[in-house]
Amino acid sequence: MTEAETTRPLLWWSRLAGVISGVAGLAIANLVAWVVSPAGSPVSAVGEAIIGLLPAGMVNWGKETLGTADKPVLLAIVTVFVLLISALAGQLELRRRPFGALVFGLLALFGIAGVISRSNSTFLSPLPVLVGLLLAYMILSTLITRLIRWHPRRRLASDEPDATSRERRSFLGMMIFVGAASAVAAVGARALAGAANAVAAARSALALPSPATKAVPVPAGADLKIAGLAPYVTPNADFYRIDTALQVPVINPDKWSLKIIGMVENEIELSFADLLAKPLTEHMTTLTCVSNEVGGDLVGNASWLGYPIRELLAQARPRPGADMVLSRSEDGFTAGTPLDALTDPKRQALLAVGMNGEPLPVEHGFPVRMVVPGLYGYVSATKWVTELKVTTFAEDYGYWTPLGWSARGPIKLASRIDTPRARTVDAGTVAVAGVAWAQHTGISKVEVKIDNADWQQAALAPTTGPDTWRQWHLAWQATPGDHTLTVRATDANQQLQTDQTAAPAPDGASGWHSIDVRVR
C-alpha cells in the first residue's frame, strides 16, 4: 500500500474529528449562553450579523422566496459553514500542530464579532464563544493524538508496536462519547431556553388584569365554521410569525421597561408593573404581513389586551414637527410608525400584553409588543418593544425602509378563497368561502366570479368592527368540467379591490385571488 493510500483514510478521520469537535463546541457554547448570556449564542448571532451585511436585494429575496423558512435556512447555512471549517481544522491539525487552533481562533473572532454586534449584548456575551471553541480545540487535539497513535505510519516513536488496536478503540470510543455528550448539551441548551430562565415561569404565573374597556363581543355567526375556512379568531399556536429575530428574545417582565424619548416635552419610562396597573383596553385586530402574497396566509385575527399608545404619547407631549415614532425591539429591530396613526383617538393602537385571553406567547413578543390596526406589521407591530422614539420620517427610518420597502405601510384591501381546498369536487352545491380584510376601514361587499360569468355577491358574516377580517361564503352550483373561481372585495368606503397584480415589495401585494377547480 502506498503512502497516499494510507494517508487518505487518515485525512477523512481527521476531518470527521474536526466536525465532531465543532459540534461539541457549538453545543457547549449554546449551553453556556443560556446560563450566562442568551445574546452569546454564536450561530444566531453570526446569522444576524450576516443579515446586516447582506445587500438589500439578497435580504428581500430571502424574505420573499423562503418566507417563514428564512431563519432555519440561514441558521442551517451558518452551522454547515462552521462544520466545514471545523473539518478543515481537523485536517490541518493532523498535518501540523497547532494549525487547528488557528482555524478555531478565526471562528472565535467571527463568533465574538457577531455577539457583540447585538443590541442586547453584555460584557459576558463573548464568553460562550470563547469557552465553546477552547473546549472544541482541546477535544480536537486529543482526538488527533489518538488518531495518530492508531495508524502505524503516523505512530509516535514512543508507542508500543502492538498499541494499534487499543488506540483505535480509544479514538473511536472518544468520538462516540463526544458525539453523545454534544447531543446531551444541545438538548440541555434547548431545555434551558424554555425552562431554566425565569421567563417561562413568569409568563405562566402572570394573571392579566381585567380590561377597563372590553372588546366588542364576537357576534353570533361571525365564524361560519365551514370546513377549510380560517376561523374568525386565529389560535395563538396557528398565528403567523414573521420577524428578524434568529433567536427569540427572552425578557423577564420584572426587568422590562419602556422609554419614550426623542421629540417630546416629557420623557417617560415605565415598568411592566406600571403598564399592568393602567386601565387596559381589549380590542380585536387582524394583523397582516407585507410579505403576504395574494391568497397567502401571513394574516391572522386575535383579541389583544393592552394600553393605548396615544395615552402615553399624550403624557410625553410630542413637539411640533414630529411625524413618526421609531419603535425599537429588544433584538435591535426598528419600525417607523406614523405619529398620527398612534395618536388617532379612533384607532386602538396598543402596547399589548395579552393575546386571545392569555399573556403574549414568547415568540409573539412577550412581555410587550405593539399592535396597530390598518398598518402592515413591518412598520407597526414591533415585538419585545423597549423604546419609542418620537422623531420624523426625514431623520429616522425603520429596519426595512433602507431595504427598499415603503416607509408608511398602509394595509391594502384584500380577499382570499379558503375553500374548496380540494381541487377536485363533486358536482352539485359546493361551499365557496374565504376571508376579506381592509383593516380600520372594513369590508362592505365580496363578489365571486365563476369562469367568465357575471360576478355573484357572497354572503358576509358579521364582525366585531372594521379592524378585523370578515368571513364570506357562496353556495356554488357546480357543473362538471374545469372551472376558475375568482374573488374580489369592496371596502366600507366603496373602494373596489384592484385587479392590478403587484408583488409584495415595496408596499404590499395586490390583485384578485383565483383558484382552479375540477368538478366531476
* pLDDT tens-digit map of 260-284: 999 999 999 999 999 999 999 999 9
The rounded distance, in Å, linking the Cα atoms of 130 and 112 is 8
Q: Are 433 and 228 in contact (CB under 8 A)?
A: yes
**483: confidence class by pLDDT, cuts 50, 70, 90:** very high
Q: What is the 3-state secondary structure (H, E, C) of 170-201?
A: HHHHHHHHHHHHHHHHHHHHHHHHHHHCHHHH
What Cα–Cα distance (Å) separates residue 204 from each residue in 39, 188, 201, 248, 336? 23, 21, 5, 17, 32
The rounded distance, in Å, linking the Cα atoms of 364 and 183 is 28
441 with 508, same domain? yes
Question: Quick one: average pLDDT of 3-31?
Answer: 75
175 with 322, same domain? no
- Nearest CA to 30 out of 40, 18, 21 is that of 40
* pLDDT tens-digit map of 343-353: 999 999 999 99
**156: confidence class by pLDDT, cuts 50, 70, 90:** very low
150 with 253, same domain? no
* pLDDT tens-digit map of 436-459: 999 999 999 999 999 999 999 999
482 with 379, same domain? no
Look at residue 423 in the predicted model and tell me its pLDDT: 82
31 with 108, same domain? yes
Question: Quick one: average pLDDT of 45-67?
Answer: 67
392 with 285, same domain? yes
Choice between 207 and 163, residue whose per-residue pLDDT is larger: 207
Per the prediction, the chain carries an average pLDDT of: 87
286 with 330, same domain? yes
Q: Looking at the predicted structure, is the pLDDT value of residue 64 above 80? A: no
Residue 342 lies in a domain: yes
The rounded distance, in Å, linking the Cα atoms of 34 and 250 is 10
**14: confidence class by pLDDT, cuts 50, 70, 90:** confident
Domain range for 480 is 414-519
Which set of grid coordinates corresponds to residue 394?
426625514
The rounded distance, in Å, linking the Cα atoms of 310 and 321 is 17
247 with 327, same domain? yes
The rounded distance, in Å, linking the Cα atoms of 369 and 356 is 14
* pLDDT tens-digit map of 371-393: 999 999 999 999 999 999 999 99
The rounded distance, in Å, linking the Cα atoms of 212 and 234 is 24
Look at residue 1 in the predicted model and tell me its pLDDT: 44
Q: At what angle do helices 99-116 and 127-150 cross, to 10 degrees?
A: 160
> Pick from 196, 217, 248: which residue ends a domain?
196
* pLDDT tens-digit map of 289-340: 999 999 999 999 999 999 999 999 999 999 999 999 999 999 889 999 999 9
**508: confidence class by pLDDT, cuts 50, 70, 90:** very high
Write the CATH number for 240. Answer: 3.90.420.10
Q: Looking at the predicted structure, is the pLDDT value of residue 155 above 80? A: no
Q: Are 219 and 464 in contact (CB under 8 A)?
A: yes
Look at residue 24 in the predicted model and tell me its pLDDT: 82
**196: confidence class by pLDDT, cuts 50, 70, 90:** very low
The whole-angstrom distance between residue 231's C-alpha and the CA centroid of its chain comes to 23
Highest mean pLDDT among 176-185, 199-208, 481-490 belongs to 481-490
The rounded distance, in Å, linking the Cα atoms of 520 and 307 is 54
